[in-house]
Amino acid sequence: MEKILEVNDLHVSFDTFAGEVKAVRGVNFHLNKGETLAIVGESGSGKSVTSKAVMGLIPNPPGRIKQGEIKFGDRNLAQLPEKEMQKIRGSEISMIFQDPMTSLNPTMTIGKQIMEGLIKHQNMNKSEAKERAIELLKLVGIPNAEGRVTEYPHQFSGGMRQRVVIAIALACNPRVLIADEPTTALDVTIQAQILELLNDLQEKMGTSIIFITHDLGVVANIADRVAVMYAGKIVETGTVDEIFYNPQHPYTWGLLGSMPSLDSTDEELIAIPGSPPDLLDPPKGDAFAPRNPYAMQIDTEMEPPLFKVSDTHYAATWLLHEKAPKVEPPAAIKKRMQGMAPDEPIIGAKDGGKHV
């Protein structure tokens, strides 16, 4: 498949009074044309920093890209001056942020906010831009778009505001769309509608999507491939089926185990013990070792490479070394993985002994 974006050995740091925070530490991934790549992990794992580095939105100071390249076509975005990035940002690569209310200007009408990018990047006049803004509002499912184009953000519900933000991001037909936890602030019903909308828009427009989230349940519904991040590094990557049904890294086991299960009788979710490491002073070896019940001595001494599981599946854990003891996921996690089999119904009802 054609690679539309490629990130190689990306390091991003922030200079603070306490010292240098190494937020992203050697991240590598690529995005294929027309696919959705989900980047998942706990808060502080480096997901959003990575996406903002791609957009050229790392504030300097205090942040900086220490090394690495972000290849977009024949350009390295990590080295482009701000004026050149402004031409790309919004037109070729767009971003949907987590909270639509902080993304929208409360003093401007929805229509004007959509029109801004069209006038700047597409060289449209005001009349053409307004007509296109109405088309975009219809595309993202805003009813009575002709009337609502003159309304302000506070006149829209949370779900409708997120649809408006998506319309702004898609206004210039970008080749890459970065969605940074776009459904976190929404209730589950609206969340499902937004995910369905993104899927529909991708089919219609062929946009490649990087979807940032901490929710593996969301990933299952939208992603083609998944990259699992921990402590500023990608620790496992594979297709969505490989990550859900054949995970190899103990951290991925923990993420899957912490998901609520519809058929579980357990009163408590399985939690990952401990806390993420302090990236002011990253630990030697495998950063997950202090929280890993299967950690070996080598985990505290040497950082594991990405071991190949298949042509599309890699995991950075010494458990995949040929001399490592054979360890399987805990029984409770295996049960949850088996319970997520794609052919089984997720909702069931019984009446009079008959299963519906």
Query: Is residue 231 situated within a structural domain?
Result: no
Under 8 Å between Cβ of 103 and 97: yes
Q: Say whether both 215 and 126 belong to one domain.
A: yes
Query: Is residue 229 situated within a structural domain?
Result: no
Q: Say whether both 280 and 168 belong to one domain.
A: no
- Distance (Å) of CA 169 to CA 173, 179, 285, 309: 8, 10, 40, 36
Query: Is residue 344 situated within a structural domain?
Result: no
Q: Say whether both 174 and 85 belong to one domain.
A: yes
Question: Which pLDDT score, from 0 to 100, does residue 264 have?
Answer: 57
Total length of the chain: 356
Q: What is the DSSP string of 3-68?
A: EEEEEEEEEEEEEETTEEEEEEEEEEEEEETT-EEEEE-STTSSHHHHHHHHHT---TTTEEEEEE
Find, among 236, 240, 245, the residue nearest to 335 by Cα.
245
Q: Say whether both 212 and 160 belong to one domain.
A: yes
Q: What is the DSSP string of 216-229?
A: HHHHHHH-SEEEEE
Question: Which pLDDT score, from 0 to 100, does residue 135 have?
Answer: 92
Query: Is residue 37 situated within a structural domain?
Result: yes
Sheet holding 19-32, edge to edge: 19-32, 3-16, 63-72, 75-76
3-state secondary structure of 98: coil
Q: Say whether both 76 and 152 belong to one domain.
A: yes
Under 8 Å between Cβ of 124 and 116: no
Tens of pLDDT along the chain (356 residues) come to 789 999 999 999 999 999 999 999 999 999 999 999 999 999 889 999 999 999 999 988 899 999 999 999 899 999 999 999 999 998 899 999 877 778 899 999 999 999 998 998 888 999 999 999 999 999 898 999 999 999 999 999 888 998 999 999 988 889 999 999 888 777 888 888 888 888 888 888 889 999 999 888 888 888 999 999 999 999 999 999 999 999 999 999 999 888 776 655 555 667 888 899 999 999 999 999 999 999 999 999 999 999 999 999 999 999 999 999 998 887 767 776 666 555 444 455 555 554 44
Query: Is residue 181 situated within a structural domain?
Result: yes
Q: Say whether both 249 and 204 belong to one domain.
A: no
Query: Is residue 349 situated within a structural domain?
Result: no
Question: Which pLDDT score, from 0 to 100, does residue 354 have?
Answer: 47
Question: Which pLDDT score, from 0 to 100, does residue 54 have?
Answer: 95
Q: By residue range, what is the domain housing residue 73? A: 3-223
Q: Phi and psi of 326, rounded to 5°? A: -80, 120
Cβ atoms within 10 Å, residue 157? 10
Q: Say whether both 214 and 256 belong to one domain.
A: no
Query: Is residue 236 situated within a structural domain?
Result: no
At which residue do the structure tokens 């990952």 appear?
Answer: 272
Q: Say whether both 307 and 158 belong to one domain.
A: no
Would you say the pTM of this structure is higher than 0.75? yes
Q: Say whether both 157 and 281 belong to one domain.
A: no
- Distance (Å) of CA 316 to CA 115, 249, 272, 309: 45, 7, 18, 10
Which helix or strand (DSSP H or E) is residue 211 part of?
Answer: strand 208-213
Bond preceding residue 100 cis, omega within 30 of 0: no
Q: Say whether both 179 and 324 belong to one domain.
A: no
Under 8 Å between Cβ of 305 and 316: yes
Query: Is residue 350 situated within a structural domain?
Result: no
Q: CA dihedral in degrees (24, 30, 32, 36; nearest 10)?
A: -30
CATH number at residue 113: 3.40.50.300
Cβ atoms within 10 Å, residue 112? 18
Q: How many domains does the chain have?
A: 2
Q: Say whether both 79 and 176 belong to one domain.
A: yes
Alpha-carbon distance of 265 to 68, in angstroms, equals 47
Under 8 Å between Cβ of 48 and 234: no
Q: Say whether both 25 and 130 belong to one domain.
A: yes
Alpha-carbon distance of 255 to 278, in angstroms, equals 20
Question: Which pLDDT score, from 0 to 100, does residue 249 have?
Answer: 95
Question: Which pLDDT score, from 0 to 100, does residue 348 have?
Answer: 53
- Distance (Å) of CA 109 to CA 153, 161, 297, 334: 7, 12, 60, 51
